[in-house]
Amino acid sequence: MTFEPVRAGVYVHVPFCLRKCLYCDFVSYPALPDEMDAYFTALIREIEIVAAELSNVPVTSVYLGGGTPSVLPIATLCSIVGHIGSAFHLEPHAEISVEINPGTLQETDLEAMVAAGINRLSIGMQSLDDGLLKRLGRVHTAQEAVKCMRAARAAGFANINIDLMFGLPGQSMNHFRQTLDCAIELAPDHISCYSLIVEPTTPLAKQLEEERLSLPDEETELAMYEWAMARLHDAGYNHYEISSWARPGYRCRHNELYWRNGWYRGLGPAAHSHWDGQRWANEPTVEAYCQAIDRGVLPVAERFPLSADDEMDETMFMGLRLLEGVSEETFRARFGRGLKATYGREIERLVRLGLVEYDHGVRLTRKGLFIANQVFAAFLRSP
């Protein structure tokens, strides 16, 4: 059955960074002026092509991520947002988020972003410990991160997220407590707190393999997560997704669209899309991306058709990340069949194990939260 999206999102991938962080396996390249110019020209063309296709679809959220969008010249960044605003049918009060890294922007740049209509900022702070930031290969210091947050508020941003990480090499419980206490003092509206995933091809993986660094043990990492849950709850943040906490009214609408398995279009190299029964990925290199746009075609590298079963499984896989889970009502409205009819045996098994609870829908229990990936996997029926 066709699912008519009530809301659609637009994601723009900005694949440039000042320098590669040691743990990162995202698609990003050195921020060279010629490359960024070529990217900008191609991106504007892609915006026009995709917007023409989506002319009647209301867009509720736009997210510029990366990479580091804030390494683009500020006029370029604001111009991208301007083009999106005039090409797509943005809903009034659409959420327009941009990821930035401390140390890459001036105060006047932040003011220009507010004037361009950007209304949500996501600051890649990661830690407020200089030793750990250095170990991760981040380009900024703790002081620059704090300064960036204050400057963003002063420039007029009323909706700010801070990204933090835990389970870092050499990080103690005390380090993490200090970072989180400090971050809370800065009073962001949203905090994303991720445990470090060591991707096999990164320099960090090599350093760990060679035993030049070590990670906190599993127990400590779990204690960090539990402590974050308690501390953020006490500070008035609502834990609404495995790694996300928000003050009332400040959930990230764009990410919620992903977690509800909604439809979105991804623009820029390596961006992914989910639209009308398909997922696809754009060409990963700036060169191949620009060449496709020059030929007047969409820069799609890989396309995957989704069956109704795939869509159902992905709805569970993504939706269970939300602490409210997946409701019977929305699942039935979308797929014409109930959760119990589709996943009855799995749900019963997971309820018996104490990993999910069922009450007009399925949601993770506290125990399930700690081994969420295993729970999600139970809902994937295709290999």
**24: contact with ligand SF4 by CB under 6 A:** yes
The phi, psi pair for 373, rounded to 5°, reads -60, -35
Q: Given candidates 10, 12, 14, 17, which one binds ligand SF4 under the rule CB under 6 A?
A: 17
d(CA 67, CA 64): 9
d(CA 123, CA 299): 29
Which residues, 143 to 162, sit near ligand SF4 by CB under 6 A? none
**179: contact with ligand SF4 by CB under 6 A:** no
DSSP bridge partners of 327: 361
Q: What does each C-alpha distance from 333 to 44, 254, 329 come to in angstroms?
A: 37, 22, 6
Residue 189 CA to its chain's centroid (Å): 16
Among 127, 134, 244, which residue's Cα sits nearest to residue 178? 127
Complex with ligand SF4: residue 60 or 101, whichever CB lies closer: 101
278 in Cβ contact with 303 (< 8 Å): yes
**CB of 312 vs ligand SF4, minimal distance in Å:** 32
Say how many residues make up the chain.
383
Find the part of the chain contacting ligand SF4 (CB under 6 A) among 1-9, 17-25, 216-224, 316-324: 17-25
**21: contact with ligand SF4 by CB under 6 A:** yes
The angle formed by the CA atoms of residues 98, 133 and 230, to the nearest 5 degrees, is 75
Complex with ligand SF4: residue 24 or 198, whichever CB lies closer: 24
Complex with ligand SF4: residue 118 or 139, whichever CB lies closer: 139
**194: contact with ligand SF4 by CB under 6 A:** no
**20: contact with ligand SF4 by CB under 6 A:** yes
**26: contact with ligand SF4 by CB under 6 A:** yes
**216: contact with ligand SF4 by CB under 6 A:** no
**CB of 282 vs ligand SF4, minimal distance in Å:** 16
255 in Cβ contact with 246 (< 8 Å): no
Complex with ligand SF4: residue 21 or 142, whichever CB lies closer: 21
**205: contact with ligand SF4 by CB under 6 A:** no
- Specify the pairing of strand 160-166 against strand 89-100: unpaired
The angle formed by the CA atoms of residues 244, 13 and 16, to the nearest 5 degrees, is 105
Which residues, 68 to 127, sit near ligand SF4 by CB under 6 A? 68, 101, 124
Q: Given candidates 12, 59, 62, 66, which one binds ligand SF4 under the rule CB under 6 A?
A: 66
**CB of 28 vs ligand SF4, minimal distance in Å:** 5
50 in Cβ contact with 59 (< 8 Å): no
**CB of 18 vs ligand SF4, minimal distance in Å:** 8
Chain positions contacting ligand SF4, by CB under 6 A: 17, 20-21, 24, 26, 28, 66-68, 101, 124
